[in-house]
Structure formats: C-alpha cells, structure tokens
Amino acid sequence: MGFIQNYVGEIAALTTALCWAITSTAFEDSAKKIGSMNLNLIRLLFGMFFLSVFTFFTRGQWFPTDATPSGWSWLLLSGLMGVVIGDLLLFEAFIRIGSRLSMLIFASVPPLSGIMALVFLNEKMTLIQVIGMIVTIAGIASVILVADKDSKKLNFSRPVLGILLAFGGAFGQSAGYIIGKFGMADYDPFSATQIRLIAGIIGFLVIFTIRGQWPRFFQSVKRKDALVSLTIGSFFGPFLGISLSLIAVQKINPGVASTMSSITPILLIPYAFFIKKEQVTAKEIIGTVIALIGVGIMFM
C-alpha cells in the first residue's frame, strides 16, 4: 500500500497508457465500420454515460453541479483543446502523413507539457525526470518510426500540412493537460472528466453541423456490429483513460505524466505479435526495453 500511495500519479499514468492500448484496438475495428468522425462523437456520448453512472454511485450526483464557475470554465477549455482540437488535428494528420509519423510527432506532447507546466504552473522537473523522459521518448520513437525498406533510410518527406496538423494536435493535447490541471485543482478527477467531455460533445456537435455529417452519423448508430467494440473502447477511453490521465496530472508533473501515458505503442507490441500475428522486429524489442528503462528512471 505504501508504494501505491507514494506513486499514485505514476501508476495512474501507466494505467492510462494501458487504457489507450485497449481502446485503440477496440476502436480500430469500429472505426472501419462507422468512420472516425462518427466514432469520436459516439465514444464521447458513451463515455459520458459511464461517467454519470460512476459519479452517481461514488459522489451521489449524475452531473458535476458542485464544480466552481472557474473550474467549469477552465475544464471546458481543457476539453476543447484536448478532446476536440487535439484529437481532430491528429486524425487529420493520420490521413495526410500516416499514423506512424503522426504518432512520432505526437511524442512531443511530454516535453511540450513539461515546458508549459514550467511556464504557466511553475512546476519544475528534476534532472532524473528529464533524463527518464528523454530515454522513454527515444524508445517510443524507435518503435514508431520505420525505416524505408528500399533505401534503408528514415523517410521524412511528407506533406508540410500533415506535419503541422500533427504538431497542432500535440500542442492541443499538451494545452489540455496543463489547463485541465489548473482548472481541476483538488476537484474530483472523474467529475472533471465529465466537464471535459461536455466540451468535447458540444465541439463535435458544432463540427457535425458545419460539415453536414448528421445523415452519416444516424446511419452509423444503426451498425449493431460495431456496438461491442464501441462500448469497450468508450469504457477504457473517455471514461477510464481520460479520468486516469487527470489523476496523473493532478498528482505529478504533467511532463512526467504525459511521458508515462505515451508508452501505448510499446504496450501494443504484444497485441500485434500474439493476436494479429504480426512480425516484431529486433528494433521494436530494443525500443521497448529503452522505453521501459526510461519509465523506471522516472520512478527513481
């Protein structure tokens, strides 16, 4: 119990990464059936339902009515930056430059979060934490970035707009972390997540209306074959994943929290090998070891 109490933030961050791994595999199936935009809104609605039930049994209320006006304002802004802008730009980057390079650029979230925490929250990272962050990101990057099989060189020739979209998504995610920590203070993380999801739902409602997405949305909700994976992904994503990430940034430096929660690509390797029967390269194994060493350093 002493270890858990001393490292609540770190454990929450690592569990967040596990939740992202589970939700990404679940959503991989449902996204193919209903589309990523429809998936985004449905997952938020499902997540809101899970959160409302959870907070009713744990706090006696369906809705975060006890949050302060200031808390509401900051957490809504946090949800807009992280849940709407961050995710939307990342999905657009996937289309233009591919998921691997997008996720490599998204690995800049931890240092961005660390810098923002220093500038806006005056939270400093120790030298050991900085070293651990660098080692972890290096391990993640080596797993994500694949060498070109023909030239044996890393290929960075991609559309500039796609790269900018990925960096924009990383900035949105980092800003969401920092604003969320500032707005949450010592408020309940699960209720805080409700407020963030409300911002996300409102944001996507506006986007759907502007894009004329509603006919396709109502068609997608009829796809019963996507219901199971949607439910699993929403439970481990918007419900558990986002809530645990708020617990992490509430307890420890946002840079450390976002680094630990970024090891999802590492956790997906066993799934790729055992379930999808994909070949795992030596580089991926070495990258995994490096990333885990980095995480271990941050516990020191």
Question: Tens digit of pLDDT for each residue in 180-191?
Answer: 999 998 899 999
Mean pLDDT, the chain, rounded, equals 86
Q: Does position 156 have pLDDT exceeding 70, yes or no?
A: no
Other CB atoms within 10 A of residue 98 CB: 15
Arithmetic mean of pLDDT, 100-127: 83
DSSP per residue, the chain: -HHHHHTHHHHHHHHHHHHHHHHHHHHHHHHHHH-HHHHHHHHHHHHHHHHHHHHHHHHS-SS-TTS-HHHHHHHHHHHIIIIIIIHHHHHHHHHHH-HHHHHHHHTTHHHHHHHHHHHHH-PPPPHHHHHHHHHHHHHHHHHH----TTT-S------HHHHHHHHHHHHHHHHHHHHHHHHHTTS-HHHHHHHHHHHHHHHHHHHHHHHT-HHHHHHHTT-GGGHHHHHHHHIIIIIIIHHHHHHHHHHS-HHHHHHHTT-HHHHHHHIIIIIS-----HHHHHHHHHHHHHHHHHT-
* Residues 6+ away with beta carbon under 8 Å from 300: 128, 132
Arithmetic mean of pLDDT, 258-280: 84
Arithmetic mean of pLDDT, 207-223: 90
pLDDT at 280: 81
pLDDT at 33: 82
Give the orientation angle of helix 8-34 with respect to helix 242-251, to 10 degrees. 150
pLDDT at 146: 56
pLDDT at 150: 44
Q: Residue 239 — very low, low, confident or very high, per pLDDT cuts 50/70/90? A: very high
- The rounded percent of the chain whose pLDDT value lies above 90 is 43
Asked whether the whole model's pTM tops 0.85, one would answer yes
Arithmetic mean of pLDDT, 229-233: 91
Q: Residue 100 — very low, low, confident or very high, per pLDDT cuts 50/70/90? A: low
Q: Residue 158 — very low, low, confident or very high, per pLDDT cuts 50/70/90? A: low
